[in-house]
């Protein structure tokens, strides 16, 4: 029998409705798991124990009084530490924001509260979301729940590890180049990046504003859909949110009539044997469900990584210029103006953040702007057109989520280019603004392997229905 902290949303709601357990019971089970594992894994940076129990108690009172309940009423959830929670620290994994207290809630935080969710605390992350391993946090690396010598992925590694180790029922992360999907793949959970503009970014500490998107990490596809239904929508505080028809989850039992494309560019060299074996089996499973599998050509897919690593640092350079030691965050004292800027940033920002600021500043500088930034924007348009053309012929694109399983801590930190290649299969969806979801498709030597489904713009309904059908098929397969 599952422990209360291991429940999905559906299972927890059923028990809460029957009165067999209370929200306080479920919340205490999660808090107990955090207390047991957090010291070893460094998943949570802050735990709001008293607030969480009070919120759970209020949920139980609403249920007892017969009041209208929110879709997540009484369910414990965690937040990545770049999402604002009013009155609490928001460090974004950086020393420069160590003392920063959020003056308001992010839009997604407000929606969680309105939906009755119990917010447990903030999870660890790569500093300012720059990394693929959660080793670049100023507060120490997060460790993989199955093997503490390995990374959980990044930059939402804390959120992925929290869900995988059942410290919470679900968590929110942010995805700029794969930062929800890659750690979801490494940790064996579901990670969804919605279409750019589907979910408000207001109250998210910006890394690259044209690429960032908030999304859920959950124990199954159904829970990801539930969270997306709550979090979506136009927000006057974020002018990039799109006026589109709301997402509504649909279910399907098979994949008859679904056309799935396999990009030739995503199945070449660089994939580890274990990942290749499990993803190839997943393709056979999709065929068994009735899907039509077609190999497709996706022009400029191989350029996506290069485009991303020009555009993203340029936006990082602009966005992080606000952290100057003047208005908030770390400030070195008793120095003249420009020395205050330099010293505050030198002491407050980590190596990887400085590297990306320098790369972006260089690419935006006079004499290089046209050669790098403008050229990358042109290729970005070609990438979007390539996806648009592909989705005229197919419904869903499938690739591995990451080329390898979780690697060892310290294995790639000395080689930035090798670390950047972890994003090879995920950045395309960010560059084009498409929705994509990663879910487990196997295990290699005890470590999870992730399969990525990419959908057409604002077609999360079709995307998650296909992913959900595959998930159910795998769950029913006899275990050897």
480: pLDDT strictly greater than 60 = no
Whole-model pTM: value is 0.96
479: pLDDT strictly greater than 80 = no
Residue 470: how many CB atoms within 10 A of its CB? 23
Interval 134-153 mean pLDDT: 98
CA separation for the pair 432, 411 (Å, rounded): 30
Give pLDDT, residue 121.
98
Enumerate the domain spans of the chain: 4-170
Interval 42-66 mean pLDDT: 98
80 assigned to active site = yes
CA separation for the pair 419, 3 (Å, rounded): 36
Q: What string of DSSP letters covers 324-388?
A: SSSSSS----S--HHHHHHHHHHHHS-HHHHHHHHHHHHHHSTTTTIIIIIHHHHHHHHHHHHHH
| Nearest partner of 72 among 167, 172, 3, judged by Cα | 172
Catalytic residue among 22, 59, 156, 179: 179
268: pLDDT strictly greater than 80 = no
Per-residue pLDDT tens for 430-449?
999 999 999 999 999 999 99
Catalytic residue among 155, 159, 304, 317: 155
Residue 281: how many CB atoms within 10 A of its CB? 16
Catalytic residue among 23, 59, 80, 94: 80
Give pLDDT, residue 477.
73
**Higher-confidence position of 268 and 281:** 281
Give pLDDT, residue 478.
60
179 assigned to active site = yes
Confidence of residue 265 (pLDDT cuts 50, 70, 90): confident
CA separation for the pair 441, 185 (Å, rounded): 9
CA separation for the pair 250, 439 (Å, rounded): 18
**Residue position matching structure tokens 């560059």:** 431
Residues paired with 449 in a beta bridge: 442
**Residue position matching structure tokens 């966005």:** 319
105: pLDDT strictly greater than 80 = yes
**Residue position matching structure tokens 């990082």:** 316
Q: Are 100 and 134 in contact (CB under 8 A)?
A: no
| Burial of 229 from C-beta contacts in 10 A (0-12 / 13-18 / 19+) | middle
Per-residue pLDDT tens for 344-398?
989 999 999 999 999 999 999 999 999 999 999 999 999 999 999 999 999 999 9
Superfamily for the 4-170 domain: Amidase signature (AS) domain (3.90.1300.10)
For 254, half-sphere exposure in the C-beta direction (CA atoms, 13 angstrom radius) is: 8
Per-residue pLDDT tens for 184-224?
999 999 999 999 999 999 999 999 999 999 999 999 999 99
CA separation for the pair 225, 169 (Å, rounded): 14
Interval 326-346 mean pLDDT: 87
173: pLDDT strictly greater than 70 = yes
132 assigned to active site = no
């Amino acid at each position: 029998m599952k422990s209360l902290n291991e429940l999905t949303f559906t299972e927890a709601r059923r028990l809460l409705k029957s009165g067999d357990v209370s929200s306080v019971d479920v919340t205490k089970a999660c808090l107990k798991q955090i207390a047991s594992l957090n010291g070893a894994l460094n998943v949570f940076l802050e735990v709001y124990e008293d607030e969480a129990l009070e919120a759970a108690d209020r949920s139980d009172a609403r249920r007892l009084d017969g009041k209208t309940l929110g879709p997540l009423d009484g369910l414990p959830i965690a937040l990545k530490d770049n999402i604002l929670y009013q009155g609490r620290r928001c460090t974004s994994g950086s020393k420069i924001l160590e003392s920063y207290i959020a003056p308001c809630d992010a839009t997604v935080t407000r929606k969680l509260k309105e939906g009755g969710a119990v917010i447990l605390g903030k999870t660890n992350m790569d500093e300012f979301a720059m990394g693929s391993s959660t080793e670049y946090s100023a507060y120490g690396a997060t460790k993989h729940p199955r093997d503490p010598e390995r990374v959980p992925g990044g930059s939402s590694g804390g959120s992925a590890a929290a869900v995988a180790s059942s410290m919470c029922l679900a968590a929110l992360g942010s995805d700029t180049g794969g930062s929800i999907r890659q750690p979801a793949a490494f940790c064996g959970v579901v990670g969804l990046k919605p279409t750019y503009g589907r979910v408000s970014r207001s109250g998210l500490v910006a890394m690259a504003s044209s690429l960032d998107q908030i999304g859920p990490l959950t124990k199954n596809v159904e829970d990801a859909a539930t969270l997306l239904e709550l979090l979506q929508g136009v927000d006057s505080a974020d002018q990039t949110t799109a006026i589109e028809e709301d997402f509504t989850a649909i279910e399907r039992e098979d994949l008859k009539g679904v056309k799935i494309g396999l990009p030739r560019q995503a199945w070449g060299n660089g994939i580890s044997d274990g990942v290749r074996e499990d993803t190839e089996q997943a393709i056979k499973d999709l065929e068994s469900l009735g899907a039509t599998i077609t190999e497709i050509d996706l022009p400029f897919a191989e350029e996506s990584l290069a485009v991303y690593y020009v555009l993203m640092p340029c936006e990082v350079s602009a966005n992080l210029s606000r952290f100057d030691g003047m208005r908030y965050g770390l400030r070195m004292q008793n120095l003249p103006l420009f020395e205050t800027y330099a010293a505050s940033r030198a002491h407050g920002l980590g190596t990887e953040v400085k590297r990306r600021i320098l790369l972006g500043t260089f690419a935006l500088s006079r004499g290089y702007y046209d050669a790098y930034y403008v050229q990358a924007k042109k290729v970005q348009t070609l990438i979007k057109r390539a996806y648009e053309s592909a989705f005229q012929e197919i419904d869903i694109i499938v690739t591995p989520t990451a080329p390898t399983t979780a690697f060892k801590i310290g294995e790639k930190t000395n080689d930035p280019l090798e670390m950047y290649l972890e994003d090879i299969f995920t950045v395309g969806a960010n560059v084009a603004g498409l929705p994509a979801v990663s879910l487990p498709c196997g295990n290699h030597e005890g470590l999870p392997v992730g399969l990525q489904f990419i959908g057409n713009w604002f077609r999360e309904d079709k995307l998650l229905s296909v992913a959900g059908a595959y998930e159910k098929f795998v769950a029913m397969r006899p275990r050897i």
